[in-house]
Structure 1
Amino acid sequence: MSAPPSLRSRAGVRSLPPTAPSVSARSLRRRKTAARVLTPAVLAVVALYFLFPLYWLLIASTKDTGDLFGSSGLLLQNPQLLENLGRVLARDDGIYLCWALNSLLYSGLGALGATLTAIAAGYCLAKFPFRGRETVFNIVLAGVMIPGTALALPLFLFMSQLGLVNTLWSVLLPSLVSPFGVYLGRIYATAAVPDTLLEAARLDGAGEIRIFTGLVLRLMMPAAVTVFLFQFVGIWNNFFLPLVMLSDQNLYPITLGLVSWQSVADRHPELYQLTVGGSLLSVVPIMIAIISLQRFWRAGLTEGSVKG
C-alpha cells in the first residue's frame, strides 16, 4: 500500500527554502533606493542647467561695460545692479518703460482673448455634435504644427490690405489665435464637463451663453489658466511678428526694443550693458506669472490624463 500524500510530503518531499522571494525583495528594495537617490539628483542637474543662464544674466547685470567683457561671467566684479537698472529705465527718456507697457498690452490682452476663444471653441467641439466636427478639429491640430515664422509674410500682406501695419492691432489680432489652446480646451471639456450637468442646466431654463459663462468656465478654469500662461509667455517672447509688422519704435515690445539697442551697440558700447540689464528686467513678469499661477498650470496639464 502506498503512503498517504500527507505522509509522503512529510517524509520525502521538502519545501524549497524561501531564498528566491527574499532575493527578489532585496533587489526590489535596492531599485527603490536607487530611484529615490537618482531621481532628485537628475532633477537637480536639470534645474541647474535651466537656471544657469538666469544666474549668468543676474551676474552680468551687476557689472559695467568694461567688467562685462573683461572679467569672469560667473563671478561678481564691482556690483552695481541698481545703478545699471536705473540707466536702463532712464535711457532715451524712458523708452524701456514704453516697451514694457507694450509687451504687457500685447501679452495680457492677447492671452486673455486667445484663452476665451480657445476655451469656447474647445467646449463647442467637445459637447456639440455637428457635421464636420472632426474635420474642423483636425484642421486645428494641423495649425499646431505650422511655425509662426511661416505665417509672418501672409499675415503682413493681409494686415497691409487692411491698413493695420505698424499699429497695435497688427500684433494683437494674430495673438488671439491659439490652436494648442483649442486642443487642450476640447480634451479638458470632454473630461471635466459632465453631459448630465449641462442637461440639468438646460432643464432649469439656462441659455447656452449663461451655461458657458456661469458653469463651464468655472469647471474649465485650470485649462483656461494653462492656455493663458502658454499664450502669455509665447507672446511676451515673440520677436519675429513684431519685427515684420512694426516700424515705429514707440510700438516695440521689449524683445524688439532690446534688439534695436544691441544692433547699434558697436557704435555705443554702453548699450551692451543696457541690453543685459533690460533682459533681466524682462524676465521678471514671466517669473511672477508662472509662480503665481503654477498650481493651476499643473492641474490643467494633468487633468485630462486622470479623468475619462
Structure 2
Amino acid sequence: MIEQQVQIAQQREGEPVKLPRRRRKLRTGRAGLGVYIFLAAVVLISFFPFYWSLLIGSGDASTVRDPDRSWLPGGNFFANIEAVVINPAVNFWRALMNSIIVSTVVSLSVVFFSTLAGYAFAKFRFRGRGPLLVFVVATIAVPTQLGIVPLFIAMSDLGWVGTLTAVIVPNLVTAFGVFWMTQYIGQVVPDEMIESARIDGASTFQSFRLVVLPVLRPAATMLGLFTFVMSWTDFFWPYIVLNGENPTLPVSLQLLQSNYFIDYSIVLAGALLATIPLLLLFVVTGKQLVAGVMAGAVKG
C-alpha cells in the first residue's frame, strides 16, 4: 500500500515511476548434484551383475574360489564362449534361433491382441464389460505353477509336446498386456477422435488402425519390449514342455550345469552371451521408445 501511494504521488508530480526490483531465481532446468550421484549409483548397481559375469566368465575354473582374484577381466572369455558354442549338448545356434522365433512371435501377438482387447474394454460399452475386465486382471494373481499340470495335459492331447507351438500358443495374449493397453487407451485416446473417424465413414477396425493405433506406439513398444524380455528369459514352462527337444536358449544353457563339476566360468560366459541380444535390442529400440514417449506426452 505504501509503495502504491508513493507511485501515485510521483505520477502527479511528473516524476518517473521507479518500480521496485525483485530478484527472482531463474530455474535453468539442470538437475542438482545429488540427482547425478543417485543416477550414477543406480547405473553402477545395475551394471555390476554384468561386470561380475564378465569377470568370472573371462577366467578359468579356479577364478570363483580364488580369494585374491583380480578385479580386471581375464583373457579366457572368448575361449569360454567358444566352449559354449561348440558344445554338442548345448546346441547353441539352434537354441538361439528357437528363442528368437518364440520371443518375436509372442511379442507381436501380445501387442496385437492386447491392443485390440484394450481398445474394446476402454472405448466400447457392452454388458459385463466391468466384471470381465476384473476377471482378466484377477488372473494375474494366479501363480503360473498352478496351471502347469492341466496345461501340459492339454498340450499332450494336442500332440504339441516337444514343439515350439506348445511354448508360443499359451502366451499369445497376457492379462497384463490387456490391462496395460486398456488403461493407456482410456487415458490418451479421446472419444471425440474416434467419433470423428466414424463420421468420416471409417469402420470400427479402420478407426482403430488409422486413428488409435498410431497414438499407441509408446505403450505398444514398451509392452513389446517387456514381453520379449520375459519370453526370452522364460525357463520353467519351456523346460517342462520341450523335454529337451527344440530347446530355447535358457533351457539349453542349463545343460552346462548338469555335470558333477560345474565350471562357473563357462556357465557365466554362456549367461552373458545369452544377455547380449537383449542389450542390443534395447540399444536399437531405445531411441525410438524415448521418442515415442515424448511424442505421446506432447498435447496439441
Q: Same fold (TM over 0.5)?
A: yes
If each structure's helix is expressed as a fraction of its own residues, which one has the higher value? 1
Could you give the per-residue CA deviations for residues 92-120 of structure 1, whole angstroms, max 9, x where no partner exists? 18711111111111111111101100011
- The residue aligned with 2:108 is 112
Pairing partner for 2:225 from 226, 229, 234: 229
- The residue aligned with 1:134 is 130
Separation of aligned partners in 2, 1:168 and 1:84: 29
Q: Answer 1 or 2: higher relative contact order, Cα 8 Å, separation at least 6.
A: 2
Deviation, structure 1 residue 160: 1.9
Deviation, structure 1 residue 172: 0.6
- The residue aligned with 1:287 is 279
Pairing partner for 2:250 from 255, 261, 273: 255
Deviation, structure 1 residue 123: 0.7
Taking structure 2 as the reference length, the TM-score comes to 0.81
- Farther off after superposition, 74-83 or 161-170: 74-83
Separation of aligned partners in 2, 1:82 and 1:112: 34
Separation of aligned partners in 2, 1:74 and 1:130: 65
Query: CA 1:190 to 1:232, structure 2 compared with 1: closer, same or farther past 3 Å?
Result: same
Separation of aligned partners in 2, 1:297 and 1:286: 15
Taking structure 1 as the reference length, the TM-score comes to 0.79
The runs of at least 4 aligned residues of structure 1 exceeding 4 Å deviation read: 71-74, 295-307
Could you give the per-residue CA deviations for residues 22-78 of structure 1, whole angstroms, max 9, x where no partner exists? xxx99xx9xxx9x82333223322222221111101112211223344365662364
- What residue ranges of structure 1 are gaps of 5+ in the alignment? 1-5, 7-24
Separation of aligned partners in 2, 1:104 and 1:227: 17
Deviation, structure 1 residue 147: 2.9
Pairing partner for 1:46 from 42, 49, 55: 42
Pairing partner for 1:209 from 178, 194, 205: 205
Deviation, structure 1 residue 254: 1.3
Matched, 1:193 2:182: no
Separation of aligned partners in 2, 1:274 and 1:234: 24
- Farther off after superposition, 298-307 or 122-131: 298-307
Query: CA 1:256 to 1:245, structure 2 compared with 1: closer, same or farther past 3 Å?
Result: same
Could you give the per-residue CA deviations for residues 239-281 of structure 1, whole angstroms, max 9, x where no partner exists? 11112211134x11111111122122x25x55x4332211011
Pairing partner for 2:140 from 131, 137, 144: 144
Paired residues for 1:147-186 under 5 Å: 147-186=143-182
Deviation, structure 1 residue 305: 9.2
- What residue ranges of structure 2 are gaps of 5+ in the alignment? 3-23
Separation of aligned partners in 2, 1:181 and 1:84: 38
Deviation, structure 1 residue 137: 1.0
Q: Do 1:226 and 1:300's aligned partners in 2 also have CA atoms closer than 8 Å?
A: no
Q: Do 2:59 and 2:73's aligned partners in 1 also have CA atoms closer than 8 Å?
A: yes
Q: Which amino acid aligns with 1:59?
A: L
Question: What is the RMSD of the two structures over their aligned residues, measured on CA atoms?
Answer: 3.2
Deviation, structure 1 residue 211: 2.3
Amino-acid identity (%): 32
Matched, 1:95 2:87: no
- Farther off after superposition, 42-51 or 251-260: 42-51
- Number of residue pairs matched? 280
Could you give the per-residue CA deviations for residues 213-260 of structure 1, whole angstroms, max 9, x where no partner exists? 2332211111111110111111111111112211134x1111111112
Deviation, structure 1 residue 306: 9.1
